[in-house]
């Protein structure tokens, strides 16, 4: 994957993450109502966006593995140096946003000092301080596993083993949750926030960096439009499965978020579709009659959006809290407002803090 494509994917992914979080008041079953009798166009569209966008966090993990491997292959590996570089990128914002979120909670403010310290320790382990910080906890675990994962060479055999293991794991988790199968192992089966569900994505990203020609040859087997149709079909299956699970379980949350085989299918389909874009780039430019200067401008804009995407991710939950009174706009309108506000405010913050070292570190700029 080219750098321009990864920047574009980061920008797309964070925009959809904002839309997912902004749609929480309207998607099917979010407020406990899981009856199809109350389904309307607004709920249907919000649910489609909320669920079809679920490939975004797995995609972020894949891109993290890809970017990490691309940056680390240019230097001899040293665990101490590696962890110093990576921890400066992820630990400061993780600590800062955890503390800010916890400190704003009334129950925490009124708790005793021992209770405060115990609560801080608990939430620091899994990113539970705020609803988006679990992603940082996942990435930290992936970084810890990187020295071991880098020892696993890419081969078609290993890729097949990884795919088989991942499909079985996701299917087992989904089956146990939805149909109460294998009750004896249910207490020992991790939920989908555990790193075991995310390391396969991370390793796939590492292999994309290690064997780009092999993956490119597989993507070229189908046209970009065909990959797009495959993703559309996978998304339709995922949204349909969500409705089925929500109705069966009586709760949208019980249907699960990411530990579902349909999300895995949709993520891989989107990744392959996105990879096919770069092979169509020249024909698109010719078809749209874009000049060299216009292509450079587009590349610069995409580069800025990709570079700022981490800051947007870190700050968007606070932007959503700030603009929450605008939810009266309702449904799809609020999703556009949320996306524009998150990017506008986030880019402004990113632009101002990226040259200030301490702020640069804690705000991911």
pLDDT tens by residue, 6-15: 999 999 999 9
The answer to whether the CB of 363 falls within 8 A of the CB of 314 is: yes
CB atoms within 10 A of CB 324: 13
> Torsions phi, psi of 158, nearest 5?
-65, -35
Q: What is the pLDDT of residue 281?
A: 54
Contacts of 103 (CB under 8 A, 6+ apart): 109
> Model confidence at 175, in pLDDT bands (50, 70, 90)?
confident
List pLDDT tens digits, range 95-105.
Answer: 888 888 887 77
- Long-range own/partner contacts, residues 73-81 (CB < 8 A, 24 or more apart): 73/209, 73/210, 77/147, 77/150, 79/147
What is the four-CA torsion angle of 14, 20, 22, 26, rounded to 10 degrees? 160
CB atoms within 10 A of CB 296: 11
- Give the position of tokens 């804690």: 362
Q: What is the pLDDT of residue 98?
A: 85
Which of 144-148, 190-194, 275-279 has the least mean pLDDT?
Answer: 190-194
> Model confidence at 203, in pLDDT bands (50, 70, 90)?
very high
Q: What is the pLDDT of residue 29?
A: 80
Q: SS3 of 209, please?
A: helix
User: How far apart are the C-alpha atoms of 67 and 43, rounded to whole Å?
Assistant: 36
Name the residue with higher pLDDT: 188 or 52. 52
Q: Whole-model pTM?
A: 0.89
User: Looking at the predicted structure, is the pLDDT value of residue 348 above 80?
Assistant: yes
Q: What is the pLDDT of residue 61?
A: 94
User: Looking at the predicted structure, is the pLDDT value of residue 71 above 90?
Assistant: no
Instruction: Let me know the angle formed at the C-alpha of 148 by 144 and 151, rounded to the nearest 5 degrees.
Output: 145
Name the residue with higher pLDDT: 269 or 363. 269
């Amino acid at each position: 994957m080219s750098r321009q494509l990864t920047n574009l994917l980061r920008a797309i992914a964070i925009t959809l993450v904002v839309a997912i979080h902004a749609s929480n008041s309207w998607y099917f079953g979010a407020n406990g109502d899981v009856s199809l009798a109350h389904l309307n166009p607004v709920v249907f569209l919000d649910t489609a966006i909320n669920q079809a966008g679920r490939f975004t966090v797995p995609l972020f993990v894949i891109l993290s593995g890809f970017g990490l491997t691309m940056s680390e292959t240019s230097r001899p590996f040293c665990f101490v140096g590696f962890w110093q570089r990576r921890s400066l990128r992820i630990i400061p914002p993780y600590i800062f946003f955890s503390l800010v979120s916890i400190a704003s909670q009334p129950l925490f403010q009124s708790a005793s000092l021992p209770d405060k310290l115990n609560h801080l320790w608990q939430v620091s382990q899994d990113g539970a301080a705020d609803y988006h910080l679990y992603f940082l906890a996942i990435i930290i675990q992936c970084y810890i596993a990187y020295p071991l994962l880098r020892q696993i060479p890419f081969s078609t055999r290993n890729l097949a083993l990884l795919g088989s293991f991942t499909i079985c794991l996701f299917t087992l988790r989904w089956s146990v949750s939805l149909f109460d199968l294998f009750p004896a192992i249910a207490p020992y089966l991790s939920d989908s926030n555990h790193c075991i569900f995310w390391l396969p994505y991370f390793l796939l990203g590492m292999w994309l960096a290690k064997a780009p020609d092999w993956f490119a040859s597989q993507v070229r087997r189908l046209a970009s439009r065909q990959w797009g149709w495959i993703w559309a079909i996978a998304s339709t299956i995922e949204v349909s499965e969500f409705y089925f699970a929500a109705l069966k379980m009586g709760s949208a949350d019980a249907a699960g978020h990411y530990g579902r085989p349909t999300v895995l299918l949709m993520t891989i389909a989107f990744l392959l579709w996105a990879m096919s874009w770069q092979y169509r780039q020249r024909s698109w430019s010719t078809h749209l009659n874009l000049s060299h200067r216009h292509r450079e401008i587009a590349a610069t804009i995409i580069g800025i959006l990709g570079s700022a995407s981490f800051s947007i991710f870190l700050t968007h939950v606070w932007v959503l809290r700030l603009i929450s009174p605008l939810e009266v706009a309702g449904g799809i309108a609020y999703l556009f407002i949320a996306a524009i506000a998150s990017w506008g405010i986030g880019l402004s913050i990113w632009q101002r803090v990226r040259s200030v070292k301490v702020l640069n570190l804690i705000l991911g700029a």
